[in-house]
Amino acid sequence: MKKLALHWKILIGMVLGVLLAIFLIQFSWGAEFIKDWIKPFGKIFINALKLIAVPLILASLIKGVSDLKDISKLSKIGGRTILIYITTTVLAVSIGLAIVNIVQPGNSISEQTRTELLENYKEDAAQKKEAALKQQDAGPLQALQDLVPDNIISAASDNGNMLQIIVFAIFFGIGLILIPADKSKPVKDFFDGLNEVILKLIDLIMLAAPFGVFALLATLVAESPSIDLFKALLWYAFSVVLGLVIMMAVYAIIVKVFAKKSPSFFFKGIAPAQLLAFSTSSSAATLPVTMERVQEHLGVDEEVASFVLPIGATINMDGTSLYQAVAAVFIAQTFGMDLSFTAQLGIIVTATLASIGSAAVPGAGMVMLVIVLGQAGIPEAGLALIFAIDRPLDMCRTTVNVTGDAAVAMIVANSVGKLHQPKVKNWSDNYHRTN
């Protein structure tokens, strides 16, 4: 097992969990056994993901914002970079919401299965219903008022207040930028170190992912053994992949329009980085290759690439944001929740801001999804529905993340006159040389 890649271990855990549950529910005591002795391990795993959400947001986002001090030297490049990154992220989330509302993968579940799910998670549903009633009584500017916490410690104690945490982290990061470097350095070093610790904790949590998936899938089968739930899961995966493909087409269009380069030139140049991103599920691990391909093969000036790409690996997660939008609405559909336009608009805002603090490592997207679900009032227990197939989707969305970084680098470079003829024209030969 030690030589197997993590995604294979997760897949094995998923299959074993389903098979064990199918076997055990044939006995009268089987479902109760799973509930008492297997389900708690799935709950522990979900709790671990939720546990890391607040510190991940604080550490990653404060680090990401404070790193933008380079904008003082590259204000023109910096402003355009941030604006384009935010624009593409909002576009990605909107595409995800459009697709999931058209396909409606969660609505393929029968009423009987939905009733069983609601019964199993009735405590969560009651809490969300109560929160929804409070929201209905709120004034028109309540959402804006709720963005600013009156007590950061209190806000950090509830994952449902993630937007407040995000606002505080951005505010804190701006404060670090505005004070002298010698004063901000100790604080920034602390958050840099904290960020490294949090990333390591994510690694440790993901080591338990096969066992968590095993418990979650076994519980899911035991509590709702209807085949239509798994059909809905396939429709969900289709919706995510379709959205990611459309996002790739969007990159091709904007490169053609704003960078004056053909899609074939762009995709040939970035292909090795895409392959590495797909295999590692990590924008950070892919960054050195991405920078080499963008500079040597796409013709982006080093000054632009060295600024745009590291920032992109931190704050530009188009594929992750799209997936979060699809996953949130799918889970809501599965539980029979009818999300209003305002609620879906909130998903756009939350997913966009959460992507800024999303770590460029495998599995971080699932942690950030906890934020989106909590803010939208969607039962977090629904993570059990999608975690089984999250790893292959993570590989796909990381590929989109890296592709988006490269596309934005080309657009920014062209806008400031720093997009040149590539140094290496034969991309396939150099691919073998560099890999």
- pLDDT (tens digit per residue) in 377-432: 776 666 767 766 776 788 788 899 999 999 999 999 998 888 888 766 544 444 44
Give the model's pLDDT for residue 161: 67
| Beta bridge mates, 300 | 419
Q: Judge contact between 373 and 163, C-beta under 8 A.
A: no
Element of type H or E holding 72: none
Q: What CA–CA distance (Å, rounded) separates 48 from 7?
A: 19
Q: What CA–CA distance (Å, rounded) separates 418 from 77?
A: 11
Q: Judge contact between 350 and 162, C-beta under 8 A.
A: yes
Q: Hey, what's the torsion of the CAs at 341, 345, 348, 349, to 10 degrees?
A: -160
Give the model's pLDDT for residue 117: 62
Q: Enter the tokens of residue 103.
A: 């396909």
- pLDDT (tens digit per residue) in 307-353: 788 777 767 888 888 988 888 888 888 877 777 777 777 777 777 77
- Is the sign of the CA dihedral 20, 26, 32, 35 positive or negative? positive
Give the model's pLDDT for residue 135: 47
Q: What CA–CA distance (Å, rounded) separates 8 from 12?
A: 6
Q: Which CATH number fits domain 6-434: 3.90.1490, 1.10.3860, 3.40.50, 1.10.3470?
A: 1.10.3860
| Beta bridge mates, 419 | 300
- Regions of the chain with pLDDT less than 70: 1-2, 5-7, 53, 64, 68-76, 113-114, 116-144, 159-163, 224-227, 279-280, 284-285, 314, 354-368, 371, 375-376, 379-382, 384, 387-388, 391, 423-435
Q: What CA–CA distance (Å, rounded) separates 62 from 55?
A: 10
Where do the domains of the chain lie? 6-434
Q: What CA–CA distance (Å, rounded) separates 39 from 221?
A: 11
